[in-house]
């Protein structure tokens, strides 16, 4: 026997979430309908609202409800530095670390040719325009140290250097409080390669 069509549609819709297969989608749908109808209604409202209100910031492309987000319009930020990150979550991590007071550009992804994500999908043209606005003195690349994150950083650095911009990359290193014997050999090797004079 097939599930009623609205239930079937709910299960199908839940499968748009990353990592959710048919079984978990079914479990979620049953949970929402049987155990948490008010939670389900709230989820529905929140989704509709977010879809209607959330847009990309004109300057950094992060999610915002304004044309220009709060961070980009803050007078307390250093307008000479631009930090490039992959996701809004990475931006939050940078902010929580409280080590950076400049501006951001959020790629909303990373170069991944196999998934069809190229320079155009990441709005690299906007990044170039933003970095070459005359105020930015240095672009700090804070993409991840994955194969794709490294390739993305390399691509951006070539592109921006060709425009005469100063480009830097966050350093890899040992975790704070970390002991050498507990660190993977790749991280340790990189820490030696990127050593600095003291
Ligand atoms: Zn912004």
65 Cα: distance to centroid of ligand 1 (angstroms):
10
| Crossing angle of the two packed helices 147-161 and 124-131, in degrees rounded to 10 | 50
Distance from CA of residue 85 to its chain's centroid? 6
- What is the 172 CA–ligand 1 centroid distance (Å)? 26
Residues 75-133: tens digit of each pLDDT: 999 999 999 999 999 999 999 988 899 999 999 999 998 889 999 999 899 999 999 98
The region that residue 61 occupies, defined by phi over 0 for left and psi between -120 and 50 for alpha, beta otherwise, is left
Q: Could you give the CA distance from residue 137 to residue 45 in angstroms, rounded to a whole number?
A: 43
Residue 195 has pLDDT above 90, yes or no: no
Q: How far is the CA of 114 from the centre of ligand 1 (A)?
A: 29
Could you tell me which residues come within 8 angstroms of residue 115 by beta carbon, excluding any fewer than 6 positions away?
Answer: none
pLDDT band of 1, cuts 50, 70, 90: low
The rounded Å distance from CA 30 to ligand 1 centre is 39
In the reported structure, the alpha carbon of residue 186 is separated from the centroid of ligand 1 by a whole-number distance in angstroms of: 35
| Arithmetic mean of pLDDT over the chain | 92
Å from CA of 94 to ligand 1 middle: 15
For residue 55, report the distance from its CA to the centre of ligand 1, in Å: 11
Q: Cα of 53 to ligand 1 centre, how many Å?
A: 15
133-192 pLDDT, tens per residue?
899 999 999 999 889 999 999 999 999 999 999 999 988 877 777 788 888 888 888 888
CA of 129 to the centre of ligand 1 (A): 14
Ligand 1 centroid – CA 62 distance (Å):
6
CA 68 to centroid of ligand 1, rounded, Å: 5
């Amino acid at each position: 026997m097939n599930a009623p069509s609205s239930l079937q549609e709910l299960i199908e819709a839940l499968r748009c979430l990353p990592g959710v297969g048919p079984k978990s989608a079914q479990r979620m749908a049953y949970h929402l309908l049987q155990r948490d109808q008010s939670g389900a209604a709230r989820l529905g409202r929140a989704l509709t609202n977010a879809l209607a209100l959330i847009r990309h910031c004109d300057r950094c492309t992060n999610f915002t409800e304004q044309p220009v987000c709060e961070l980009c319009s803050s007078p307390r930020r250093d307008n000479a530095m631009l930090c490039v990150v992959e996701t809004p979550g990475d931006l939050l991590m940078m902010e929580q670390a409280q080590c950076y007071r400049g501006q951001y550009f959020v790629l909303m992804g990373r170069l991944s040719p196999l998934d069809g994500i190229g320079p155009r999908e990441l709005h690299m043209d906007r990044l170039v325009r933003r970095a070459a606005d005359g105020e930015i003195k240095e672009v700090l690349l804070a993409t991840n140290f994955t194969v794709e994150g490294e390739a993305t950083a390399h691509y951006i650095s070539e592109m921006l250097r060709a425009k005469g911009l100063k480009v830097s990359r966050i350093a890899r290193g040992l975790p704070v409080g970390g002991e050498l014997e507990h660190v993977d050999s790749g991280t340790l090797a990189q820490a030696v390669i990127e050593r600095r004079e003291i």
